[in-house]
Amino acid sequence: MYDFKIKKQSKLSKARVGELITPHGVIKTPTFIPVATLGVVKGGLLPEEYSSQCQITNTFHFLDLDRQDEIEKGGGLHKFFNFNKPIFTDSGGFQVFSLGKGSEYGLGKVGSIFPQGIERKKGKNLLRITQRGAKFKSPRDGREIVLTPELSYEVQKKLGADFIYLLDVCGTPLDSKEQAIEDINITNQWYNRFLKVVDGKQKIFGIIQGGVHKDLRLECTKHVNSLDVFGIAIGGALGNTKKEMYQTISNINKEIDLERPHHLLGIGDLEVIDKIVKLGVDLFDCALPTRVARHGTAFTKKGYLHLKSAKNKDRFIPIEKDCKCPTCKNYTIAQINFLFRAKEQLAGHLLTVHNLWFLENRLEQVRKEISAGRL
Amino acid sequence: MYDFKIKKQSKLSKARVGELITPHGVIKTPTFIPVATLGVVKGGLLPEEYSSQCQITNTFHFLDLDRQDEIEKGGGLHKFFNFNKPIFTDSGGFQVFSLGKGSEYGLGKVGSIFPQGIERKKGKNLLRITQRGAKFKSPRDGREIVLTPELSYEVQKKLGADFIYLLDVCGTPLDSKEQAIEDINITNQWYNRFLKVVDGKQKIFGIIQGGVHKDLRLECTKHVNSLDVFGIAIGGALGNTKKEMYQTISNINKEIDLERPHHLLGIGDLEVIDKIVKLGVDLFDCALPTRVARHGTAFTKKGYLHLKSAKNKDRFIPIEKDCKCPTCKNYTIAQINFLFRAKEQLAGHLLTVHNLWFLENRLEQVRKEISAGRL
């Protein structure tokens, strides 16, 4: 029922075109996975408005709301959210980062570099890591949640996604090498515990940690290669700059199993797409394209377009004139600009539809370029 | 281009089935007009998700945001908001009530009676009425806006709806008879000034004032009958109870011109529909059905259903099993309950679609009942 087939390997780079076969259909890779935090992409989209091939949902947030049993009773994520395409669930490892040091120091996955329109605020570190698991203070009601590998699996099993992820300690660019080593040791123990309890029905991605340290990344890559996992994800701190991120992926590429799908976790900036694809990334996910949409920023071939700006109020042209998305076919920049200033939800809705369409269309072009031997 | 044809007059009541012919299509009456405050119904619906035959937009809010020129430049409301059905614009008279004494005393159109799920807060009186016009303090930025009949027309002309409304002083159930008379005197002057500047391209509704005072209502009805207006609206304070509201409409019915369409302004509770239709109301509008939708309340044959309640979390059945709306066809109560508790916009979106569908379907049944001589 599951398979990953590489249909075309570029001769110019590590880029490849593939097919990820799942019980809910085939994902053409490389592709972008939109983030559907609590089962749906924010912005009020109906499933039929998604142009994306799949989505990723956050295990931690279901656990935080204690809703995993409800979803299981409702038939799992696909049925509960009327989404009949492949679904991924992360393990909660990202919240180990985002609610821990990510929050404390106001950090993103790539150091402190954020695209325009996004501001990261410093907050509290809501986390303590023990051998047993990640001890969270709920960001919602302050109660203690101990996320163990066993619990991460249990919740992911109840959610019933096609692909699930091992629970890791997701590090930060601020970590010392000693800290990174400590995190890897705990991560590896958690992986063993996680893999001991799985029933094999859902396919698993292992996650490569090791921060910005080449030797640690290589060691982790070899370890994840050795695990009984379907796919390989690149997680943790990727560097302080995009250049360092590319270097980190290049380092991993010296050892990574090329037969399995590669998922770069938590990255989805417009300007990195070509480069990460050329580094052999098959899947990448990020809340950014949908989050910036709700705040007025469109993805375009020329970069980010900020639609709220007053200078856009009389531009009666689509966001992109050759874009075939429902938003560009029916709405102009001036209209969307008005809806944003009027604080109508429809504004964010229209831009979310556009940004997801833009990305899927962009990746379709990328797949064609690779197939034609041009990337 | 415009016409109102009564196709069937009930012998059992004042109910009638009609056709309101407009440049943007025919409205079958009686019908409910959803409120699209700033051009779109709140809840992020695309125009193709509206099951309603038409919508009403608020002149005052465009003036408050100073966007009327922008809409005119964009081709008027229909083009700007991709809405190709008939549109009504109120005159701003409702805000004379809602931002004035309505805000000050926490009042609704029918005294202090509100359906479940709605709470009205007391606020400031942001208004002063002079002969010249209604002097508002903008609820948005505090600047002074003087809404004169001439300005109300100018803005409504720029917005370009099919139907526009005379500017009136919309009274409250708290007003003394002396106050009501004073309001009527100013209203009548405003009507004269308004009708002096119109170009006749949009069709006009005059509004009957007179509060709960039978003699004043009859006087106002005769006056509005005498004006060169296409339709007649019933405005102002309708009473302190629903019963008083029905009495007010009955009083008006003794004089109202039966050849013209009748619009009951600002009323849209589930439980009044049959009764107001039997009193000869052809059109009624209200923000309530869409506002309660965004807050978790569905319209059903059995009354209001509050979907946020925890007892609904395992009800894997549609809101109404025989409802053919896209929401009931695809979602269960349990799913929508989850989406509300997860604070996903999709929740309010789905209920807005349902409530509008419910009302249009309900009115379709009402029209059939009248045509069959049963109502």
Please give the Cα distance from A355 to A368 (Å, whole number). Answer: 20
A354 interfacial to chain B (CB closer than 8 Å): no
What number of C-beta contacts closer than 8 Å exist between A and B? 92
| A43/B342 Cβ within 8 A | no
pLDDT tens-digit readout, B313-336: 999 999 999 999 999 999 999 999
In this structure, which amino acid lies at residue A260? R
Q: How far is B244 from chain A (nearest CA, A)?
A: 36
C-beta neighbour count of B47 within 10 angstroms: 17
pLDDT tens-digit readout, A160-216: 999 999 999 988 888 899 999 999 999 999 999 999 999 999 999 999 999 999 999
- pLDDT reported for residue B116: 39
Of chain A residues 174-203, which have a CB less than 8 A from chain B? none
Tell me the chain A residues in contact with residue B40 when contact means C-beta distances shorter than 8 Å: 339, 344, 346
Is A322 among the residues known to form the active site? Answer: no
Give the mean pLDDT of B30-52.
94
- pLDDT reported for residue A111: 55
Pick the residue from chain A with its C-alpha nearest to B341. A65
Please give the Cα distance from B25 to B362 (Å, whole number). Answer: 21
Bridge partner list, B164: B89, B204
B271 interfacial to chain A (CB closer than 8 Å): no
pLDDT tens-digit readout, B179-229: 999 999 999 999 999 999 999 999 999 999 999 999 999 999 999 999 999
- pLDDT reported for residue A117: 40
A129 interfacial to chain B (CB closer than 8 Å): no
Which range is least confidently modeled, A113-122, A145-154, A301-310, B252-261? A113-122
In this structure, which amino acid lies at residue A204? I
Is A285 among the residues known to form the active site? Answer: yes
- pLDDT reported for residue B112: 46
Tell me the chain B residues in contact with residue A331 when contact means C-beta distances shorter than 8 Å: 82
Residue B197 tokens read as 């500047």
Bridge partner list, B370: none
Point out the residues of B that are catalytic.
90, 285
| ω into A30 cis (within 30 of 0) | yes
| B67/A338 Cβ within 8 A | yes
Please give the Cα distance from B36 to B186 (Å, whole number). Answer: 28
Assess whether pLDDT exceeds 90 at residue B250.
yes
Give the mean pLDDT of A219-246.
95
| B339/A44 Cβ within 8 A | no
Domain A3-286 maps to which CATH number in 3.20.20.105, 3.50.50.60, 2.60.40.740, 3.60.15.10? 3.20.20.105
Catalytic one of A3, A64, A90, A322: A90
Place of tokens 């037969």: A259
Residue A15 tokens read as 């880029």
Please give the Cα distance from B46 to A335 (Å, whole number). Answer: 13
pLDDT confidence tier of residue B110, bands split at 50, 70 and 90: low
Q: How far is B356 from chain A (nearest CA, A)?
A: 17
pLDDT tens-digit readout, A237-285: 898 899 999 999 999 999 999 999 999 999 999 999 999 999 999 999 9
* Mean pLDDT of the residues in chain B: 93
pLDDT tens-digit readout, A20-64: 999 999 999 999 999 999 999 999 999 999 899 999 999 999 999
Assess whether pLDDT exceeds 80 at residue A132.
yes
Instruction: List where CATH 3.20.20.105 sits in chain B.
Output: 3-286
- CA-CA-CA-CA torsion sign (A270, A272, A278, A284): negative
| B346/A45 Cβ within 8 A | yes
Assess whether pLDDT exceeds 60 at residue A233.
yes
Give the mean pLDDT of A85-93.
95
Give percent of chain A above pLDDT 90: 83
Whether the model clears a pTM of 0.90, i.e. scores above it, the answer is yes
Of A37, A46, A78, which to mutate for an interface test with B (greatest number of B Cβ within 10 Å)? A46
Tell me the chain A residues in contact with residue B43 when contact means C-beta distances shorter than 8 Å: 44, 345
- pLDDT reported for residue B127: 84
- pLDDT reported for residue A114: 44
Please give the Cα distance from B28 to B367 (Å, whole number). Answer: 8
- pLDDT reported for residue A110: 65
A334 interfacial to chain B (CB closer than 8 Å): yes
* Mean pLDDT of the residues in chain A: 93
B66 interfacial to chain A (CB closer than 8 Å): no
A318 interfacial to chain B (CB closer than 8 Å): no
Q: How far is A42 from chain B (nearest CA, A)?
A: 7
- Candidates A239, A242, A237, A207; CA nearest to A225 is A207
Who contacts B173 (Cβ-Cβ below 8 Å, separation ≥6)?
B107, B110, B111, B211, B212, B237, B238, B239, B240
A73 interfacial to chain B (CB closer than 8 Å): yes
C-beta neighbour count of B146 within 10 angstroms: 12
| B65/A345 Cβ within 8 A | no
Residue B207, phi then psi, degrees to nearest 5 = -120, 130
